[in-house]
């Protein structure tokens, strides 16, 4: 998958490794959690700033997300994205597998 990203100098750049970068941080930080998928969508906030909407899908039947570790995801993700000169701010949401299915069927 390719993402069009706003760089710190205002230019746009195409990259295909951002999903892997964000997913790696999620899986590293939440290694004990039953993460099934990480979906990423590039967007803008209400002020026009570049953001990533990150939906972390987990299996609620086999475990929960550790809230303390989840709270640090933005900081760790921004640090790793900065290594790639990506300035998009990650906004995380955590969705159970059953709720993710409902969301996808409602969007279809």
Report the pLDDT averaged over residues 12-40. Answer: 83
Residue with the two structure tokens 């760790």: 76
In terms of residue numbers, what domain contains 89?
A: 3-107
Q: What global pTM score does this model have?
A: 0.79
Residue 86 gets which letter from DSSP?
Answer: B
Looking up residue 98, the CATH number of its domain turns out to be: 3.30.70.1350
pLDDT in tens, 39-81: 888 889 999 999 999 999 998 888 788 888 899 999 999 999 9
How many domains are contained in the chain?
Answer: 1
Report the pLDDT averaged over residues 14-19. Answer: 68
Beta strand ranges found along 1-108 (DSSP E):
3-6, 12-15, 35-44, 50-58, 89-96
63: region left, alpha or beta (phi > 0 left; psi from -120 to 50 alpha) = left
Report the pLDDT averaged over residues 17-31. Answer: 90
pLDDT value of position 10 = 59
């Amino acid at each position: 998958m390719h993402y069009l990203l706003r760089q710190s100098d205002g230019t746009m750049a195409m990259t295909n490794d951002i999903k892997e970068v964000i997913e790696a941080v999620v899986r590293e930080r939440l290694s004990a959690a039953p993460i099934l998928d990480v979906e990423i969508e590039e967007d803008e906030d209400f002020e026009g700033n570049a953001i990533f909407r990150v939906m972390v899908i987990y299996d609620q039947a086999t475990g929960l997300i550790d809230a303390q570790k989840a709270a640090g995801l933005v900081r760790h993700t921004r640090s790793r994205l900065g290594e790639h000169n990506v300035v998009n701010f990650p906004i995380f949401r955590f969705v159970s597998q059953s709720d993710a299915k409902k969301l996808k069927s409602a969007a279809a």
